[in-house]
Amino acid sequence: MIGSVIPRYFVVAETMHELQNPTSAEKLLLLGRRLGLGRDSRVLDIASGRGGPALLLAREHGCAWHGIEVSPDFHAVAVERAAEAGLEDRVKFELGDGAAATFEPESYDAAVCLGASFVYGGLADTVDALAPAVRPGGHVVVGEPYWRRLPLPDDDDNRKEAWTTLEGTVVVFEASGLPVVSVIASSDDDWDRYETLHWQAVEQWLAANPGDPDAEAIRSRHEQYKRNYLRHQRERLGWAIFVGWKRS
């Protein structure tokens, strides 16, 4: 069922997020320059969420943006934001499963998946899935976590994740035949802004919805994520936008 892969926790926790990843408007604008976006550019965005990067870069560069998002809640917000920004002629948001979507080969200048490689099962599969949709000379862009320090403590809840180091992430990306030509990494400030907006949104929602049947599950996940961020994640986990170049 469409939307079933997005736990309700994230719908609640990201109600305040304009950008649903630990990055900034300035870094996304840098990404737009690195991609050479212009009015003739076409961009595919898998897991486009609430539409933050799409709206920012379409407004800045005039590019055409095609977003696909599986969560009805996120999709509805993105459509509303596009209308409010007067960008409906440049930005189109589709409700659907990006992993099941098909695209005309080599029809986009860039294909983007920020913080959602789980859609395809991992980083390598994401690059492999997106590359055919990009024209020669275009770019595949993936936002992905990586470990800044190893080994991980035994009580780190992220130990089960298949993330690797910064170098290892580039190696995985480049195994698909696209050289990584840019890395735009998150700062501690980016992480703090992203994570603490979760805290604020969840606390406000819990206070307003004490009788909701999901309240205790959302509270438990919130407390677990907050504890893990403060204990381990802020120090050890990085996140970056990796830009691969499709030479031919």
| CATH (domain of 153) | 3.40.50.150
- 196 part of a folded domain: no
123 contacts 144 by C-beta, under 8 angstroms: yes
> What is the total count of domains within the chain?
1
Q: Is the peptide bond before 136 cis (omega within 30 degrees of 0)?
A: no
| C-alpha–C-alpha distance, residues 165 and 203, integer Å | 33
Q: How sure is the predictor about 3, in pLDDT bands with cuts at 50, 70 and 90? A: very low
- 197 part of a folded domain: no
- 118 part of a folded domain: yes
- 26 part of a folded domain: yes
| C-alpha–C-alpha distance, residues 206 and 218, integer Å | 8
Segment 20-69, tens digit of pLDDT: 999 999 999 999 999 999 999 999 999 999 999 999 999 999 999 999 99
| C-alpha–C-alpha distance, residues 233 and 235, integer Å | 5
Instruction: Give the domain range for residue 56.
Output: 17-187+238-245
The pLDDT score that the predictor gives to residue 134 is: 98
State if pTM tops 0.75.
yes
- 174 part of a folded domain: yes
- Tell me the two tokens of residue 191: 């992480």
The pLDDT score that the predictor gives to residue 2 is: 34
Mean pLDDT of 61-81: 98
Segment 132-144, tens digit of pLDDT: 999 999 999 999 9
Segment 159-216, tens digit of pLDDT: 888 899 999 999 999 999 999 999 999 999 999 999 999 999 999 999 999 999 999 9
Q: What distances in angstroms separate CA 122 from CA 115, 128, 172, 173, one per listed residue? A: 11, 10, 10, 10
Spatial neighbors of 142 by CB under 8 A, at least 6 apart, are 112, 113, 114, 117, 123, 126, 127, 130, 173, 241, 242, 244
- 207 part of a folded domain: no
The pLDDT score that the predictor gives to residue 114 is: 98
Q: How sure is the predictor about 72, in pLDDT bands with cuts at 50, 70 and 90? A: very high
- 145 part of a folded domain: yes
Average confidence score pLDDT of the chain:
95
Mean pLDDT of 219-243: 96
What percent of the chain is predicted at pLDDT more than 90?
92
Assess whether pLDDT exceeds 70 at residue 1: no
- Tell me the two tokens of residue 215: 């309240």
- 30 part of a folded domain: yes
Q: How sure is the predictor about 156, in pLDDT bands with cuts at 50, 70 and 90? A: confident
